[in-house]
Structure 1
Amino acid sequence: MNVQLPFLFILALAAWFIVRNLRLRWWAVASLVLLGFYLADTSAAPLIDNTTHNGVDVINKTTTK
């Protein structure tokens, strides 16, 4: 049986656990999300994207040579 969850739901659940257990404030989480959006518009975005894709490939063991 395969269960498919939207990635946004998993991120929201992770954010809720982090705020709940690490006692972060919601404004801190919101500012980190906003920082992520601002980083996506910088020259570092391709490097972040490439690193993220490589990390997912390593975890999923789907690297191609």
Structure 2
Amino acid sequence: MNIQLPFIVVLAIVAWLIVRHLRLRWWVVAAFVLLGFYLADTSAAPLIDNTTRDGVSVVNKTNK
């Protein structure tokens, strides 16, 4: 049986579990989200994107 969930639902569940079990405050999570948006607008964004894609391909054992 395959279950298809939107990626945002999976992220929301992971975020909730992190906040719940690591006892992070919601303002810390909001600060991390804002930091992510700010990083996406810098010159480091292509490096982060390429590193993330390479990491996913290693985990999935796929080659370009």
TM-score greater than 0.5 by the shorter chain: yes
**2:54 counterpart residue number:** 54
| TM-score, normalised via structure 2 length | 0.95
Amino acid at match of 2:37: F
**2:31 counterpart residue number:** 31
**Displaced runs of 4 or more, over 4 A:** none
The number of residue pairs the alignment matches comes to 64
- Give me the identity figure in percent: 73
Amino acid at match of 2:46: P
**1:45 counterpart residue number:** 45
Stretches of structure 2 that go unaligned for 5 or more consecutive residues are none
Stretches of structure 1 that go unaligned for 5 or more consecutive residues are none
Give me the CA root mean square deviation: 0.7
